[in-house]
Structure 1
Amino acid sequence: MSSKLLIEGISDAVGFVGGALAGFWIGRLLGLDLFAPGYGNASVGAIVLVGLGGGIGLQLARKWRNRQSDTPKE
């Protein structure tokens, strides 16, 4: 039971962080600066991309985990 929870936690963390990093780098490619002073449009756009990337990465990790548990073990 604890190994299943460990796998769940690690896969969620990897999916979230990976997605957030992807959102960060997509923002950088689009010229959006997450760390710009103040809350200008570019900064808010970068924050939104990081949040969306983290959420999408988390959902992809959960789908992957569910697909792994659905496949029969040999």
Structure 2
Amino acid sequence: MHDLDPVFDAFSREPRLGEIAAEIGFVRPLLIQSMYIFKQPHIGGEVHCHQDSSFLHTWPESCAGFWFALED
């Protein structure tokens, strides 16, 4: 999405996100994926901490995601 929408691109490339990635040990962080997840109220459950390494393969495991909950 960050390659298709200018507003989403600006948010996804916010310098503070790169700074946070550096603070947790990433040397050259890259933006490889961005998406929306539309979750309707009262449908489904809470999403707990989890690993997405079964979807984004790296060796050694070196991928981290930032997740932001938005409300309208």
The structure showing larger relative contact order (alpha-carbon pairs under 8 Å, at least 6 residues apart) is 1
Structure of larger gyration radius: 1
TM-score, reference length from structure 1: 0.29
TM-score, reference length from structure 2: 0.30
Whose helix proportion is higher, 1 or 2? Answer: 1
